[in-house]
Amino acid sequence: MIRIAVVGDIGSGKTYVAKLFGFPVFNADNEVAKIYKSNRPAYKKLNAKFPEFVNSFPIKKSEVSNAIINNVHNIKLITQIIHPIVRDKMKKFLKKNANKKAVVLDIPLYFENRINKKKDIVIFINSKKKLINTALKKRNKSNIKFLKKLSKLQLPLVIKKKKSDYVINNNFKSGDIKKKINIIKNKIFK
């Protein structure tokens, strides 16, 4: 099984591109959302660390976001609680899809959390700031503050791009993206 990782800036279209590959996708953001909705032990740990922010179950994403907006260093404490659960879910996903030709990893902190393996195919999604800002404006406003704080914790985009095997310039036009994905798939599976 080939692992294809999709990386890039917040709002660059990673999730959209990941789906277009046509392989099973592990989306870390979706897994975190599921943890917030259904994992009571995670809630208890977050509540113990951040009682002034996280004080109801299911956990509201806005509560966690506010803890990070209040102090960007809280992300490390949150990650220590949530990341092992996400990593476990990723292991189960990889095991379940072991017989597939490929899987796609849509993990925003792929390099930062050292999930990368030597044989992984890494694709950097490059997008113009203007297009990213337009995409982000369609999202929840309180979420934008959170995302901007979060982006400061990520590796510089120049480094992510340098560590990647391929670059897809996302102009947010699906026909163009599909062509680029097909070219990459042909190179990977030749």
134: which residues sit within 8 A by CB, 6+ positions away? none
45: which residues sit within 8 A by CB, 6+ positions away? 81
Sheet with 25-27: list strands edge to edge: 25-27, 102-106, 2-8, 121-126, 166-169
Q: With respect to CATH, is domain 2-184 assigned 3.30.420.40?
A: no
pLDDT in tens, the chain (190 residues): 999 999 988 778 898 899 999 999 999 999 999 999 999 999 999 999 999 999 999 999 889 988 988 888 888 899 899 999 999 999 999 999 999 999 999 998 888 888 888 899 999 998 776 666 666 666 655 455 556 656 666 777 888 999 999 999 887 666 788 889 999 999 998 7
Q: How many Cβ atoms from other residues are within 10 Å of residue 119's Cβ?
A: 7
Chain-centroid distance, C-alpha 105: 8
DSSP string, 42-105: HHHHHHHH-TTT--SSSPPHHHHHHHHHH-TTHHHHHHHHHHHHHHHHHHHHHHHTTTSSEEEE
Which letter does DSSP use for residue 138 in this model?
Answer: T
Q: Which residues pair with 125 in a beta bridge?
A: 8, 168
The two three-digit tokens of residue 35, written as one number: 């943890």
| Confidence (pTM) | 0.86
